[in-house]
Amino acid sequence: MALGLPSVLPGSQPSIGDLIRKTGPTFSFEFFPPKTADGERLLWQAIRELEPLRPSFVSITYGAGGSTRDTTVAVTERIATETTLLPMAHLTAVNHSVAELRNVIGRLAAAGVRNVLAVRGDPPGNPMGEWVRHPEGVLYAEDLVRLVKQAGDFSIGVAAFPYKHPRSPDVASDTGYFVRKCRAGADFAITQMFFDADDYLRLRDRVAAAGCDTPIVAGVMPVTRMATIERSEQLSGAPFPAALAARFERVADDPEAVRRLGIEQCSEMCRRLIDEGVPGIHFITLNRSTATREVWQNLDVGARV
């Protein structure tokens, strides 16, 4: 075993990369680590409400600058040991030395967690600020992928950007960076959230044209309030589609109508993605279950899995 880390036993948990390639489309949920006792209650309420839907897997994000490292690992461990769900832990390079990253990887391995989403991460305090490498850390996501790959039998996911990463100079460069992450050892990718199916399909075509066949799961989140639109560029790195924004503006004074439109639009987009052969849909839940369950029901996922 490289790096002296605990071995991840083959078969201890299914490989998400294998699930996506062999069983698709997969359906999965994303949660974030709570910062308060009330937040923890909401998280576990959402997990228990979504668990009966039998998603393919769930993921737990990592706070900006690694601020929730221990909570992320603890939640992932608890999901692995106390629920029927298959967890994937996010791992970011921000503010972490290689030694710290190896420690986190080792904790996950010890809990039997073999699925990791390796992302470079945003600078703390300002997602659009200058990215500064830890003096004893790694510089790029592809370096983090290699570090996890060396550590044992992990299935590794990476991020994909339907529009392009905010720091990429252009779409062609962004595609090249993505392909390098895949060739470093990533088994699959999950996109940042997007609100137009064509953005996903263009990304898939670009990656295929570059000779890369890594499956790309679509990350989606229904708009349930106008504030989501206002924050969408920060959340996704892409401007909110103008035509769709106009539809929401027409009902902006009616919060319930905004929510209905958001559920409808997300359901329509997911149906089209499924028809276009998407290998998976990853729902960003914001630790709440209701909107996700409504889209899930609209897609009649139970009949598909």
Residues with catalytic annotation? 30
Write phi, then psi, for 66 (nearest 5 degrees).
75, 20
Helix (H) or strand (E) holding 218: strand 216-220
CA 60 remoteness from chain centre: 8
Return the residue matching tokens 């710290």. 100
For the chain, how big is the Rg over CA atoms in Å?
18
How far is it, in rounded angstroms, from Cα 68 to Cα 128? Answer: 19
Q: Any bridge partners for residue 155, and if so which?
A: 115
How far is it, in rounded angstroms, from Cα 145 to Cα 56? Answer: 22
Taking Cα atoms as reference points, which of 211, 234, 232, 255 lies closest to residue 126? 234
How far is it, in rounded angstroms, from Cα 8 to Cα 113? Answer: 8
3-state secondary structure 126-169: CCCCCCCCCCCCCCCHHHHHHHHHHCCCCEEEEEECCCCCCCCC
How far is it, in rounded angstroms, from Cα 114 to Cα 155? Answer: 6
155 touches 8 (CB < 8 A): no
